[in-house]
A and B are shown apart, each in its own frame.
Chain A
Amino acid sequence: MVPELGHFALILALFLAIIQASVPLAGSLSGNRTWMSMARPLAWGQLTFIGIAFLCLLQAFLTDDFSVIYVATNSNSLMPTAYKVSAIWGAHEGSLLLWVFMLAGWGAAVAALSKNLPLAMIARVISVQGMVAIGFLLFTVLTSNPFDRIFPAPLEGRDLNPLLQDPGLAIHPPMLYMGYVGFSVAFAFAIAALIGGKLDSAWARWSRPWTTVAWIFLTIGIALGSWWAYYELGWGGWWFWDPVENASFMPWLAGTALMHSLAVTEKRAAFKTWTVLLAISAFSLSLLGTFLVRSGVLTSVHAFATDPTRGSFILIFLCIVIGGSLALYAWRAPTISGGGRFDLVSRESFLLVNNLLLATLTVLVLFGTLAPLIYEAAGWGKISVGFPWFNKMFVSLSPFLVLATGTGPLAHWKHDEPRRLIKSLWLALALAILVFLAVSLPIFSAGNMAMAFGLAMAAWLVGSHLVSLFDRLKHKHGLKGLAADLAGNSRSYYGMWLAHMGLAVFIVGVTMVSIHGKETDIRMSPGSVHEDAGYRFQFNGVQSVPGPNYSAFRGDFVVYQGEREIARLFPEKRNYFSGGMPMTEAAIDAGLLRDIYISLGEPVGDKGDWALRVYYKPYVRWIWLGCIFMALGGVLAVTDRRYRMARQTAASPIPGGAAVA
């Protein structure tokens, strides 16, 4: 009964979405206020019905209703309750439901938090969201209904893919989806503005916090996915340039460009059409991501069993969304005025460089991801693009990006003197060169060019941002003056500062782990000792231990540094009762400066020997730490005073003061 209720609620939500997509929009075009004011209640209604459907599926999982196919294939009565909840998005149908649920959530949030928006604008924004909802609800109802029944009902479920039974992956998809779907708001704002033909600073100010919030979620989602792949897949890698990872990275790159471009549009009314194009791209890439993951056209470590009708549905939907919005763009964009002018040396220019580089990187990732499809379609054979290609692209372009990131925040809007910029930045440049020389020359260590380059980039970022901060702190004298100066800067300035520091931390992590990371496959007998990277690993054998829905072999390792015992590690090899393949649970001794990581391979011979893999990963935590900094920077920027003010007062001129780059 409950699953049918859920199905029914989904169908009602679909009809509601059709009304939502048409009536407020028609009202905004004909000036009918009653129709326009239906937008907000419709958004709430949408959330209610999809919420009911979501709760129905949750109920089916919690009560182990195996008559529902989706529950039977993705759950099991022995599974811990937390994983029964996360199993909702463990496979295709449920993750789609989560997607539309979030879309409705974002729609309701727009309805609730945009009191000062003109009615016509809000009507259009919510209508555009309704159109997106129609696509996804049709997709769910027609091809991927999570409430389909099976008769006779199986007595026990097939269990969730054991890889997904993990706290990291329980929250990774919702975070990622919040980001993906969040870009639908920026998209809806852009389309609404195109329909209205009015693109101004006010428009940029409205869509900026939404874009930033979506970007925060996406950043956390990608970082969680990377962290999960690192400890769960047992290969010790944090990024594989896998199509599915690329699918989440492309909207992130486009979204990052969009945030920076929106800053220019808000402050200087420039880059308008470019900003709109980025908003369309970010959301289109999110849709493409869904398509790539779900259609199974590409070989991926993430690909689930797939169904071609679903792929073609998403492809058609994708064509309608991208084609439609680009057509609207081509029609409307020429009428949009150019906006503020700027000189070759100005903050706008550095943001332009940032945008061009991020856009180029997005296109490169897209190209690398789709190249196998292009080659096959052209009959040039079946290929895969290895990760060295992607690494090469990023290593060659990111120095320019970092250079612009360090310079931009110090440059003046509109016009700046190169001499003034060099004068204020020479200290940061000297620091970077010093770091480069110290690391590249064999003075303190063996000397390593690649490492010197990476660390110098990080030093440049830290140096230039410290200069920028000190510049802003020398207005008043004394300790009190310093405090006043500190408080005088806006939160969005500190947000920018922290996010850019996150980039520096990230670069240090990537550099160190790529250059000094170590990986050894060995065979060990119980009682034997292995030495690696200055550590001594003593293997005490493997024992069989029971788990809630699996049994495991558990290895026992003691790690010594010198004579001191620093860690005891218990990597496992699990066999889930529901059958299927064994699962490796790596054991990690995590630290700020290094991780030690052991994963069990297979038993060898009959004397208790095991093949296993030992990793030494210096600074690997900095990669995710950098992402956390970036996300926190986003949080600071979004809680800036002017957005809080904007919610209370009607659209007023932007208060001057600190700018975010």
Chain B
Amino acid sequence: MKARQKRLAFVALAVLGVGAASALALTALKSNISYFFSPSQVIANEAPPDHVFRLGGLVTKGTLARQEDGLTIHFDVTDNAQTVKVAYTGILPDLFSEGSGVVAKGRLGPDGVFYADEVLAKHDEDYMPPEVASTLKTAHAEGVADAAAGINGASN
């Protein structure tokens, strides 16, 4: 092979490889991203049914209830405008508590309950996931009563 042909072969192989990798990346991305929705959006039916998404907000005080089996937990998530019931089976992360911010990943059931398979934990108790912070801000901007109190309570 001549030097020119050789270089062309190299470039063609590289382009082919990178092209295949990016095609793979983008097609796989579609099925692996999960959107984030606030309780208000879920109540307004913006969240897709039968699809995994993340729900974020504050855990409503006094709603945390453990079921008979000791592993299933029910609690409410609110953005101070709307509230969604959440069911989760398993061990909760250490930093989970009533009145604090939470992000849960799972599906919305036909009964309107959000069945989470994952409840996210955070390293820092003062930390608020940016999505939750903006969810609360949006709800507040919409003039919902008591939202300010909720934000202050949550961000310490």
| Chain A residues near B (Cβ < 8 Å) | 161, 163, 233-235, 296-299, 301-305, 341, 343-344, 349, 352, 356-357, 360, 364, 367-368, 371, 375, 381-386, 388-389, 392-393, 396-397, 521-523, 580-584, 599, 601-602, 604-605, 609, 611-613
Distance in angstroms between the alpha carbons of A583 and B94 in the assembled complex: 6
Asked if A611 and B71 make an inter-chain contact with CB atoms under 8 angstroms apart, the answer reads: yes
**A581 adjacent to B33 (CB under 8 Å):** no
Q: How far is the CA of A38 from the CA of B35 in the complex (A)?
A: 56
Q: Cβ of B70: which chain A residues have Cβ within 8 Å of it?
A: 523, 604-605, 609, 611
Q: Chain B contacts of A364 at CB under 8 A?
A: 21, 25
User: Please, which residues of chain A bring their CB within 8 A of the CB of B125?
Assistant: 580-581
B34 at the interface (CB under 8 A from A): yes
Within 8 Å CB of A375, what residues of B?
33
The minimal Cβ–Cβ distance linking A170 to chain B, given in whole angstroms, is 15
Determine the distance from Cα of A611 to Cα of B93 in the docked complex, in whole angstroms: 12
Q: Is the interface of A mostly helix, strand, loop or mixed?
A: mixed
Question: How far in angstroms is the closest Cβ of chain A from B125?
Answer: 5
Report the minimum CB–CB distance from A375 to chain B (whole Å): 8
- Given A343-B6, A356-B18, verify A521-B71 contact (CB < 8 Å): yes
Q: Give the docked Cα–Cα distance between A613 and B91 (Å).
A: 7
State the Cβ distance, A314 to closest chain B Cβ, in Å. 17
Given contacts A344-B1, A523-B70, A612-B91, contact A303 B36 (CB under 8 A): no
**Would you give the shortest CB distance from B2 to chain A, in whole angstroms?**
12
Nearest B residue (CB) for A579: B125
CB distance from A465 to the nearest CB of B (A): 24
Residues of A within 8 A of B120 (CB): 299, 301
B-side contacts of A582, CB under 8 Å: 94
A368 to B22, CA, bound (A): 12
B9 within 8 A of A: yes
Partner of A299, one of B92, B95, B131: B131
Contact B123 A302 (CB under 8 A): yes
Find residues 1-54 in chain B having any chain A CB closer than 8 Å to their own CB: 1, 3, 6, 9-10, 14, 17-18, 21, 24-25, 28-29, 32-36, 54
Chain A residues within an 8 Å CB radius of B3? 341
Q: Which 6 pairs, one residue from A and one from B, show the smallest C-beta to C-beta distance? A: A523-B70, A604-B70, A382-B36, A389-B32, A601-B91, A383-B33
Q: What residues of A have a CB within 8 angstroms of the CB of B28 in the complex?
A: 389, 392-393
Q: Which of B14, B34, B129 contacts A356 (CB under 8 A)?
A: B14
| B93–chain A nearest beta-carbon distance, Å | 8
Please name all residues of chain A whose beta carbon is closer than 8 Å to the beta carbon of B33 when the two chains form the complex.
Answer: 371, 375, 383-386, 389
Residues of A with C-beta under 8 A to B29: 368, 371, 385, 389
Docked pose: A582 CA to B91 CA in angstroms: 13
Evaluate contact between B92 and A382: CB separation under 8 angstroms: no
Q: With A360-B17, A364-B21, A397-B21 known to touch, is A305 a contact of B71 (CB < 8 Å)?
A: no
Known: A384-B34, A389-B32. A304 touches B91 (CB 8 A): no
A303 to B35, CA, bound (A): 20
Residues of chain A within 8 A of B61, CB atoms compared: none
A360 touches B21 (CB 8 A): yes
How far apart are A566's CB and chain B's nearest CB, in angstroms? 24
Chain B minimum-CB-distance residue to A234: B94
Cα distance A393–B129 when bound, in Å?
Answer: 26
CB distance from A424 to the nearest CB of B (A): 23
Q: Quick one: closest B residue to A367, CB to CB?
A: B25
Instruction: Taking A299-B130, A382-B36, A601-B91 as given, write out 16 further A-B residue pairs in contact, using a Cβ cutoff of 8 Å, ordered by the A residue number.
Output: A161-B124, A297-B130, A299-B103, A301-B121, A301-B123, A302-B123, A344-B6, A364-B21, A371-B29, A384-B36, A385-B29, A386-B33, A393-B25, A523-B70, A583-B94, A611-B70
Residue B90 at the A interface, CB < 8 A?
yes
Contact assessment for A344 and B36 in the assembled complex, using a CB-CB cutoff below 8 Å: no
C-alpha spacing A352/B122, complex, angstroms:
40
| Bound Cα distance from A302 to B129, whole angstroms | 11
For B130, the chain A residues whose CB sits under 8 A away are 296-299
Interface centre among A161, A299, A352, A604 (most CB of B within 10 A): A299
* Interface check B89, CB cutoff 8 A: yes
With A161-B124, A304-B123, A382-B131 known as contacts, the answer to whether A360 contacts B71 (CB < 8 A) is no
Given the known interface contacts A234-B94, A302-B123, the answer about A344 and B10 at a Cβ–Cβ threshold of 8 Å is yes
- When each residue 70-108 of chain B gets 1 if its CB lies under 8 Å from chain A and 0 otherwise, what string results? 110000000000000000011111110100000100000
* Inter-chain contacts of B123 with A (CB < 8 A): 161, 163, 301-304
- Complex Cα gap A28–B123 (Å): 48
**Within the assembled complex, what's the spacing in Å between the Cα atoms of A445 and B54?**
38
State whether A305 touches B127 (Cβ < 8 A).
yes
Is A385's CB under 8 angstroms from B32's CB? yes
* Given A384-B34, A384-B36, A385-B33, A344-B9 contact (CB < 8 Å): yes
List residues of chain A with CB within 8 A of the CB of B92.
Answer: 601-602
Please tell me if B69 contacts chain A, counting CB pairs below 8 Å: yes
B-chain residues with CB within 8 Å of residue A386 when the two chains form the complex = 32-34
Residue contacts A-B, CB under 8 angstroms, 25 given: A161-B124, A296-B130, A302-B123, A303-B122, A344-B6, A344-B9, A344-B10, A352-B10, A356-B18, A368-B29, A384-B33, A384-B36, A385-B33, A389-B32, A389-B33, A392-B24, A393-B24, A521-B71, A522-B71, A523-B71, A581-B94, A584-B94, A602-B92, A611-B70, A613-B90
Q: Is the CB of B124 within 8 A of A303?
A: yes
- Nearest chain-B residue to A303 (Cβ)? B127
Q: How far is the CA of A443 from the CA of B56 in the complex (A)?
A: 48
- Whether B126 contacts A305 by the Cβ 8 Å rule is yes
| Residues of the B chain whose Cβ atoms lie less than 8 Å from the Cβ of A344 | 1, 6, 9-10
Given the interface pairs A296-B130, A521-B71, A602-B92, the reply to whether A233 lies near B124 with Cβ below 8 Å is: no
In the complex, which residues of chain B have a beta carbon less than 8 angstroms from the beta carbon of A371?
29, 33
Are the C-beta atoms of A581 and B97 separated by less than 8 Å? yes
> Chain B contacts of A304 at CB under 8 A?
123-124, 127
Q: Which residues of A contact B71 (CB under 8 A)?
A: 521-523, 611
The distance in angstroms between the C-alpha atoms of A375 and B30, with both chains bound, is 12
